[in-house]
Amino acid sequence: MRYTHRRSRIAADSIFSAIIAVPLFADVHQTLFNGAPYFRVKHSMSKTFADFPLHESLQQALQTLGFTAPTPVQEQSIPAALEGKDLLVSSQTGSGKTAAFLLPTLHALAGNEDTLLSFKDRMRAVTAPSILVLCPTRELAQQVSQDAIGFVRHMKGVRIAAIMGGMPFGKQIQQLKGAQVVVATPGRLLDLVNRRQIKLDQVKALIVDEADRMLDLGFSEDLEAISDLAGNRDQTLMFSATFAGRIISLAERMMNDPQRISIETGHSTNTDITQTLHWTDGFEHKKKLLTHWLNGEDVDQAVVFASTQEDTDMLAEELAEAGLSVVALHGAMPQTVRNRRL
Ligand code: AMP
């Protein structure tokens, strides 16, 4: 577990409190740190989206969304992806990576609107998307599909579907019908392939978002199975926070001589924060160390990050049992509860 602590001297008698939060919850980071974005998006001064040969409908959507200058990851990835290259891109959440892979792949679809099957024919046929985006989590799949819906708002007849675990199959199959763009978590996608509700042999562009998290979550085999099923594709784009060895070897298995694009995140370390790394022998040791440390006299308030929602709840409970005033906070809670807890 990683944990972050910010020493603050608010009031000598303030009661200790701890908020346990999972990193997915980006809006909370923003609220906690005085509204400053967690990852700063550096905008290029030289380019505008009009410099990219993107289809008019996408240019229109960008205007509606108020996007003018591309972020660094967009500036580098969009032209290379438009040339049809396979790309391996290092980028963080908040860097604008979603538009970096959606815009060039949707561009190809925008140019081919005339060749799309009629709505009626599509509803009769097994769904066969031409763009497939794989995401490690439901939340990310939902966010990416929402972004895609925003980008195709001026394109005719393009249907976007999000496929993720936790949703009833019937409802999901209905939503999936006739979609040309599918955003999915790997496990549920393979379930639907096995139920013959979707086929991947017409995928032209495969995008793997947050590939490092995919591997952390054990999706390696699922990714390779999907890569084989979508073997007729022309292009693969992979986005990852790092170029660790395991990502490179995954890219080698799934991609064709990819061009590497490395993006500076642009966030500098806050010098007010002292960073310390503690090695522990296991979970019990880690918990004891954390409790001891949170009980320190100079700790008034702390934010502890855990890697999953379940860990967050469990840790909050255990710290409460150890006598600390603590609340848990994560994305599975209704917004009203999150606001109250904050
Ligand atoms: P992402 O890293 O894709 O999750 O994007 C982070 C946020 O930046 C999202 O809210 C996007 O809508 C927004 N965004 C992405 N690209 C741009 C851009 N070129 N100009 C303004 N906002 C952007």
Residue among 24, 40, 41 to mutate when testing ligand 1 (max atoms within 8 A of CB):
41
C-alpha dihedral (221, 308, 88, 242), degrees to nearest 10: -120
Helix (H, G, I), strand (E, B) or coil at 203: coil
pLDDT tens per residue, range 294-333: 988 888 889 998 888 888 988 899 888 888 889 998 878 8
Residue among 45, 71, 147 to mutate when testing ligand 1 (max atoms within 8 A of CB):
71
Cα of 98 from ligand 1 centre, angstroms: 7
Q: Whose CA is nearest to atom 14 of ligand 1?
A: 96
How far is residue 137's CA from residue 146's CA, in Å, rounded to a whole number? 14
pLDDT at residue number 298: 86
pLDDT at residue number 30: 30
Q: Whose CA is nearest to atom 8 of ligand 1?
A: 96
Q: Whose CA is nearest to atom 16 of ligand 1?
A: 96
Q: Whose CA is nearest to atom 21 of ligand 1?
A: 67
Cα of 94 from ligand 1 centre, angstroms: 6
pLDDT at residue number 113: 61
pLDDT at residue number 309: 85
CA 96 to chain CA centroid, nearest Å: 11
Cα of 96 from ligand 1 centre, angstroms: 4
State which ligand 1 atom lies nearest to the alpha carbon of 67. Answer: 20
**Spatial CA neighbour of 167 closest among 150, 184, 146:** 184
Q: Whose CA is nearest to atom 1 of ligand 1?
A: 96
State which ligand 1 atom lies nearest to the alpha carbon of 69. Answer: 19
Q: Say if residues 86 and 235 touch (Cβ distance below 8 Å).
A: yes
Question: Would you list the DSSP string of 282-324?
Answer: SHHHHHHHHHHHHTSTT-SEEEEE-SSHHHHHHHHHHHHHTT-
pLDDT at residue number 171: 87
Q: Which residues of the chain have pLDDT under 50?
A: 1-17, 21-44
State which ligand 1 atom lies nearest to the alpha carbon of 97. Answer: 3
- CB 226: neighbour CB atoms within 10 A? 23
Cα of 72 from ligand 1 centre, angstroms: 11
Query: What's this model's pTM, rounded to 2 decimal places?
Result: 0.71
How far is residue 151's CA from residue 149's CA, in Å, rounded to a whole number? 5
State which ligand 1 atom lies nearest to the alpha carbon of 92. Answer: 2
Strand order in the sheet with 301-305: 301-305, 17-21, 326-329
Burial (CB < 10 A; 0-12, 13-18, 19+), residue 154, is middle
State which ligand 1 atom lies nearest to the alpha carbon of 41. Answer: 8
Cα of 212 from ligand 1 centre, angstroms: 20
Q: Which residues pair with 205 in a beta bridge?
A: 131, 235
pLDDT at residue number 226: 98
pLDDT at residue number 333: 80
pLDDT at residue number 287: 85
Q: Amino acid identity, residue 49? A: F
Q: Report the pocket of ligand 1 as residue ranges, CB < 6 Å.
A: 41, 67, 69-71, 74, 93-99
Rounded alpha-carbon distances, angstroms, from residue 140 to 1, 143, 175: 22, 5, 18
Residue among 45, 58, 67 to mutate when testing ligand 1 (max atoms within 8 A of CB):
67
How far is residue 286's CA from residue 278's CA, in Å, rounded to a whole number? 9
- CB 92: neighbour CB atoms within 10 A? 21
Q: Say if residues 143 and 214 touch (Cβ distance below 8 Å).
A: no
Cα of 274 from ligand 1 centre, angstroms: 30
Cα of 102 from ligand 1 centre, angstroms: 12
